[in-house]
Amino acid sequence: MTGLCEGRVVVVTGGGRGIGREYCLMLAAQGAKVVVNDLGAEADGTGIDLSPAAQVVADIRAAGGEAVVNGSDVSDWDQAKAMIDQAISTFGKLDVVINNAGILRDRMMVNMTEAEWDAVIKVHLKGTFAPAHHAAAYWRDLNKATGERVNSRIINTSSVSGIYGNIGQTNYGAAKAGIAAFTIIAARELRRYGITVNAIAPGALTRLTENLGPPPTEERRERMHPRWIAPIAVWLASEQSSEVTGRMFEASGALLGIAEGWHRGPTADAVDDPTVLGPIVADLVERARLNAGMDGKDLD
| Residues labelled as active-site residues | 159, 172, 176
The H or E element containing residue 201 is strand 195-202
Could you give the C-alpha distances from 72 to 49, 98, 131, 250, in angstroms and in order?
A: 12, 14, 10, 28
Give CA angle at 175 (169, 179), nearest 5°: 140
- Identity at 230, one-letter amino acid code: A
- Quote the CA–CA distance of 152 and 292 in Å, as a whole number: 33
The H or E element containing residue 32 is none
- Quote the CA–CA distance of 300 and 125 in Å, as a whole number: 31
Phi, psi of 294 (to 5 degrees): -65, -15
- Quote the CA–CA distance of 155 and 97 in Å, as a whole number: 6
- In 3D space, the residue among 236, 289, 227, 278 whose CA is nearest the CA of residue 258 turns out to be 236
Q: Strand 96-99 and strand 256-259: pairing?
A: unpaired
Phi, psi of 122 (to 5 degrees): -65, -50
CB 9 within 8 Å of CB 32: yes
- In 3D space, the residue among 87, 99, 94 whose CA is nearest the CA of residue 123 turns out to be 99
- Quote the CA–CA distance of 230 and 93 in Å, as a whole number: 23
